[in-house]
Amino acid sequence: MNMSSLKQSLPESTETYDRVEQLKAFDETKSGVKGLVDSGITNIPEIFIRPSDELAEESNHITTNLQVPVIDLRGIETDDDHRRTIIREVKQASKEWGFFQVVNHGIPLDVLDGMLDGIRKFHEQDAVLKQEFHSRDRTKKVKYGSNVDLYRSKAANWRDSLTISMQTSDLIEPEELPEICRDSTIKYLNQVTKLGETLFELLSEALGLKPKHLGAMECSQGRTFIGHYYPACPEPDLTMGTSKHTDPSILTLLLQDHIGGLQVLHDNQYVNVQPLPGSIVVNIGDMLQIMSNDEFISPDHRVLANRVGPRISVAGFLTGSTQPGKIYGPIKELISEKQPERYKEFTVRDYISKFFGRPIDKSGLDEFRLEG
């Protein structure tokens, strides 16, 4: 079904609404949310409208003027006193927020801008070129689509995504990447992986462990990068850019443009994660909450739909080794009589597989939590 046919088939009333049929019609266009916008819609299709009880709940979450912690990494390798200060800041942010932004992290601004521009160009190129990458096959290294949980969620999200999966192999060949964003992507992936290794050292020390502890656990292995494209939305109050969720990762590194819309839940209030030029947003994932035995938290967060756009972001998920037999769980050094083990062990494959088996707004932490 093409996009104009989809427009004509949109139901005029809920009485004639067949959700599965509409999801399939949308998916089969292979043109995503951008295709809908390009077709000239002025009202969003019903598949994107959030349930009425969820919309009513919004009044329970007041958005505040609090600010997510910002940590300056300048001098981290040369100034021991400053490094200790940074480790204290990382510890506090990871315990209280599960979110922080880093500045002066060493990734050149032109690499950050190049990555955002490359993702924008991919999503804005001719639809036929994008469709070559369209797939819902999780085993594909590089794929494009809209809503990983399209057929499981209560409401589709207003975004399209380019996914680059390095779960089974730490290498990706240049020719596997879309030509339009190939060079910028390779430069960014190399740089942000190094930043991830540095952050794992800081997080290790923040947990009272040796600097290389998390690195030795192969936490930097298993990487997935997702380039999100959030088109301008004609009815942003009815839908979401990304629904509330926690990340099925050890650590997530997010590059976002200037538009904003990312919010983290803190003390039952949504806090805007204000875009800072040249910054990277860091958030603790479910797996690190388990490994830290609840010392660090994996918080709920979401992205609002917006009347302006497109908003571009690139999320890098560091998930650990997927090798058979590689087991993760609460770190033994963090377990004591006072702090007994709170979670079951897991494999990365199992944790991620369970994530893909449910809507993204359902956290996996409870499934692995020990009773008592």
The DSSP string of 80-141 is HHHHHHHHHHHHHHHHHTSEEEEES-S--HHHHHHHHHHHHHHHHS-HHHHHTTB---TT-S
**Fold assignment, 3-368:** Jelly Rolls (2.60.120)
CB burial string 179-199: b at 16+ within 10 A, e below: ebbeebbebbbebbbebbebb
Higher pLDDT, 8 or 330: 330
Please report, for residues 3, 42, 233, 244, 372, the alpha-carbon distance to residue 307 in angstroms, rounded to integers and kept in the order given: 21, 12, 5, 19, 46
pLDDT of residue 361: 79
272 by Cβ neighbours in 10 Å (0-12 / 13-18 / 19+) ranks as: middle
Higher pLDDT, 2 or 258: 258
Give the contacts of 3 (CB within 8 A, at least 6 positions apart).
Answer: 29, 31, 35, 36, 38, 39
pLDDT of residue 12: 44
Q: Which residue has the tokens 């990312």?
A: 262
Q: Any idea what DSSP says for residue 356?
A: T
pLDDT category of residue 65 using cuts at 50, 70 and 90: confident
Q: Where are the domains of the chain?
A: 3-368
Q: How many CB atoms lie within 10 A of CB 1?
A: 13
In three-state secondary structure terms, 269 is strand
Name 164's bridge partners: 142, 225
- Does the pLDDT of residue 5 top 70, yes or no? no
Q: CB of 8 within 8 A of CB of 36?
A: no
How far is the C-alpha of 35 from the C-alpha of 362, rounded, in Å? 28
N residues, the chain: 372
Give percent of the chain with pLDDT exceeding 90. Answer: 78
239-261 mean pLDDT: 96
Higher pLDDT, 139 or 330: 330
pLDDT of residue 372: 61
Higher pLDDT, 27 or 167: 27
**Could you report the per-residue pLDDT of 259-309, keeping only the tens digit for each?**
999 999 999 899 999 999 999 999 999 999 999 999 999 999 999 999 999
34-61 mean pLDDT: 91
- pTM listed for this prediction: 0.92
pLDDT of residue 370: 92
Q: Helix count (H) and strand count (E) of the chain?
A: 12, 13
Tokens of 49: 């409208």
* Angle CA 370–154–68, to nearest 5: 65
